[in-house]
């Protein structure tokens, strides 16, 4: 008997979108990796049922907002979900999010989507062209932050990794609630919004946002934190929270 009902019959669950295979493996270890492959346009995702009746799908979407948006949208065209989660490693803004800590986004912000003007950077919302932020369901943010003992705040999506103290200061002056920087969250959230599905972002900090120092990276520590996160998330409560009317 199939443990996984057809898509029409099963309750829609969570889609977790990561950038690279190493992050997917950390998430699947957290889910006690009893997953199996499911075809999606362009490849496959891994499907598991971590909690009874709560399917969790894990997709490797690629690095950066465009790749993440395209990959997420192609899966949402094929399968139904109640929550879409952008997950992976991230840079943390000191002192809020030290290396090895977990972060949950209260808002997902496109931090470099806009224009340089004589008055300084203006984002596309300020220019009147669109949106630069998505707000995850507050109840889900609270549930996850409490369960993970995570820092919550603004998680910035950039297309260019910050590499100087000056750039980090610019970002925190524009986004005083910024706790982390990554490259996929806004793309994932944009795709989810096209399907009317709430988005969520959880990150494990691998490095400090600021001067480029790859020797200071702690990717292994961050991947271990990511594994812990996906072993500790209250999946059934999260789904109840986001599907409550």
- The footprint of ligand LNDFFVEH (CB under 6 A) covers 19, 63, 88-91, 158, 161-163, 181-184, 206-207, 209, 212, 214
Query: What residues pair up with 170 in beta bridges, in sequence order?
Result: none
Which residues have CB under 8 Å from 136's CB, separation 6+? 105, 106, 107, 108, 198, 199, 200, 201
For residue 211, the minimal CB distance to ligand LNDFFVEH (Å) is 9
For residue 91, the minimal CB distance to ligand LNDFFVEH (Å) is 2
Q: Which of 157, 197, 194 is nearest to 73 (CA)?
A: 194
**Of the two residues 78 and 169, which places its CB atom closer to ligand LNDFFVEH in the complex?**
169
**Of the two residues 57 and 184, which places its CB atom closer to ligand LNDFFVEH in the complex?**
184
**Of the two residues 178 and 209, which places its CB atom closer to ligand LNDFFVEH in the complex?**
209
**Of the two residues 89 and 141, which places its CB atom closer to ligand LNDFFVEH in the complex?**
89
For residue 7, the minimal CB distance to ligand LNDFFVEH (Å) is 28
Q: Which of 130, 126, 176, 128 is nearest to 156 (CA)?
A: 176
Distance CA 53, CA 235 (A): 10
Whole-angstrom CA distances from 200 to 60, 109, 166 are: 16, 12, 29
């Amino acid at each position: 008997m199939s443990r996984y009902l057809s898509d029409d019959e099963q309750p829609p669950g969570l889609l977790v979108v990561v950038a690279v295979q190493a992050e997917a493996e950390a998430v699947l270890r957290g889910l006690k990796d009893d997953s199996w492959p499911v075809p999606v346009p362009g490849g496959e995702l891994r499907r598991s049922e971590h909690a009874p009746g709560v399917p969790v799908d894990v997709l490797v979407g690629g690095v950066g907002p465009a790749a993440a948006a395209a990959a997420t949208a192609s899966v949402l065209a094929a399968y139904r979900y109640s929550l879409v989660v952008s997950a992976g490693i991230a840079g943390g803004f000191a002192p809020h999010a030290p290396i090895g800590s977990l972060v949950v986004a209260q808002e997902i912000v496109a931090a470099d989507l806009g224009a340089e003007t004589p008055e300084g950077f203006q984002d596309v919302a300020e220019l009147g062209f669109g949106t630069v932020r998505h707000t995850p369901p507050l109840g889900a943010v609270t549930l996850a932050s409490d369960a993970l003992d995570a820092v919550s705040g603004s998680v910035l999506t950039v297309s260019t990794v910050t590499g100087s103290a000056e750039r980090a200061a610019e970002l925190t002056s524009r986004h005083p609630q910024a706790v982390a920087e990554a490259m996929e969250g806004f793309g994932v959230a944009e795709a989810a919004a096209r399907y009317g599905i709430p988005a969520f972002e959880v990150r494990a900090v691998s490095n400090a946002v600021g001067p480029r120092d790859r020797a200071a990276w702690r990717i292994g520590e961050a991947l271990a934190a990511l594994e812990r996160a996906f072993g500790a998330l209250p999946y059934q409560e999260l789904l109840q929270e986001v599907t409550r009317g």
